[in-house]
Structure 1
Amino acid sequence: MGRAGQLTEYEQGSALAFSKAGWSIKRIAAALGRSRNVVASFIRSPETYGTHYVSRKSTKVSEWARRQTVKHASTTGCSARQLKAYLPLEVSLRTYQRILNQAAFLQYTKRQHAPKLQQRHKDARLKYAEDKLTNPPDWDIVVWSDEKKLNLDGPDCLQYYWHDHRHKKDQLFTRHSGGGSCMIWDAFSSHRKSEIAFLDGSQTGDKYIDTLSNYIYARQRQHSLFQVDYGVFGHLALSPDLNPIENVWGVLARQVYLNGKQFDSVAELKVAIKHEWENISQNYLQKLIRSMPKRCVHVFQAKGGKTKY
């Protein structure tokens, strides 16, 4: 068998001459002392012979590799780049990204902020859930209240949107000193909601009593707001999932800062807050309150741990 390897220029010239003379591949190979495959490759395409071409690795991924990639992303939340460094698969970063994008139940999103629960918090949450499931209160007469700060630039100045590459990118301005903000308070029950209260400074005990007097007790006689015998309904620390007003804050903030809205003054911000608070329907508030038994079930099932709420 003749030698393999690329033909020299002299051999290429000889092979062309022999071929034009009508010699067969076998005869040319024998005359040059080269393999028939090498000679045939040259005769087939003399113009491109010797051009080095490295084909790309096949990006075809086995079903096992796909399952491993999706499973690991689901259980760890790793990014495509982290998966490439961790998993022993000979595929490109882009292939990892494509596998994750094609998984119908995966979505790359921000992690939700949640308080860190110590064991004592979990124990208290579990007891709360057990108590409320064993001796359920009349959730319709519970008044939910809380305070929240909103600023001019939006929540934490973090804004995300789908950018159309045909247009200029949206810009989000920030103020050096953080701009202004306002502290708000509100309350609601299954029957009514209070007006938004705009607070001055931090809420001390005396100020909180004034807020209750102005926005709940004073309106009780005028509008039959919260017609209940007032008592303390204990609430747990680090348990926003057991306080439906946290859901209300989320809806309110999304509407106030809709489409990346920012404000030039606190007065303008207050107008927007009041408008969006008035647009929150009583039906929505009732739906949140009616979810309390289910929330307690989820806390019980999680043994006091975090829930989807």
Structure 2
Amino acid sequence: MERQKQDNPQKDESRFTLSTCDRRERVWRRRGERYAACNIIQHDRFGGGSVMVWGGISLEGRTDLHVIANGTLTAVRYQDEILRAIVRPYAGAVSPGFLLVQDNAWPHVARVCRQFLDEEGIDAIDWPSRSPDLNTIDHLWDVMYRCIRCRQVPPQTVQELTDALIQVWEEIPQDTIRRLIRSMPRHCRDILYYIEYS
């Protein structure tokens, strides 16, 4: 499962929102108090805004955090903004044994992106469908989410959220990233065990 002297970068994107509302409010109220002011909470219909980011990690480093403007990542944008602008130079700088790890999100597996990777000689791992817990960068997104929410003054605007995400990304210790990547063989064994015995 693990190759010698090979750096297997994990790549993925995630969306962070200003609002933590799940659109469900739990309220204990007495009969007849349904519309009492103490039982009504006002929400921004669109959640106050969000930021979609993309990042890549490897045993020895990480890419800069890329903010995906306008929040929609198409296959063409993924090819141009991420594969061409970030992955190709990173692959060249990391090692000749570069192996790209990404999930099966539509932009990642679109023909235009697969063709680009083939033409550039960038190998990508075959990603099994419905494979929870295999992309270790998802754990970093959770770390970042907790760091942002634990701030004494949480971000109030999209720009503040963007700045906070970039800062938190840069402050994550490389040892944390290494531990997550090195845990991947164990996660694979656990999933294979679960599949075999379920």
State the 1:185 CA deviation. 0.5
State the 1:238 CA deviation. 2.5
Judged with a 3 Å threshold, the aligned counterparts in structure 2 of structure 1 residues 174 and 259 are, in CA distance, closer, same or farther, namely farther
Contact 1:144 1:245 in 2 (8 A): yes
Structure-2 residue corresponding to 1:202? 72
CA offset digits 1:202-255 (Å, max 9, x no partner): 22222111212222323556xx34654420112223323111111111101000
CA offset digits 1:95-115 (Å, max 9, x no partner): xxxxxxxxxxxxxxxxxxxxx
CA distance in 2, matches of 1:303, 1:220: 33
Judged with a 3 Å threshold, the aligned counterparts in structure 2 of structure 1 residues 270 and 259 are, in CA distance, closer, same or farther, namely closer
Give the structure with the higher percent strand: 2
Identical counterparts, % of pairs: 26
* Structure 1 position 189 matched with structure 2 position 58: yes
CA RMSD after TM alignment = 2.8
* Structure 1 residues 6-155: aligned runs within 5 Å: 136-138=1-3, 140-154=6-20
Q: So what's the TM-score if we normalise by structure 1?
A: 0.45
Which ranges in structure 1 are unaligned for 5 or more consecutive residues? 1-135, 159-171
Q: So what's the TM-score if we normalise by structure 2?
A: 0.68
Contact 1:142 1:233 in 2 (8 A): no
State the 1:280 CA deviation. 1.0
1:217 corresponds, among 85, 88, 92, to 88
Structure-1 residue corresponding to 2:161? 269
The number of residues matched between the two structures is: 156
Greater mean deviation of Cα atoms: 211-220 or 293-302: 211-220
Higher RCO (CA 8 Å, separation ≥ 6 residues): 2
* Structure 1 position 244 matched with structure 2 position 114: no
Which ranges in structure 2 are unaligned for 5 or more consecutive residues? 25-40, 99-121
CA distance in 2, matches of 1:150, 1:208: 18
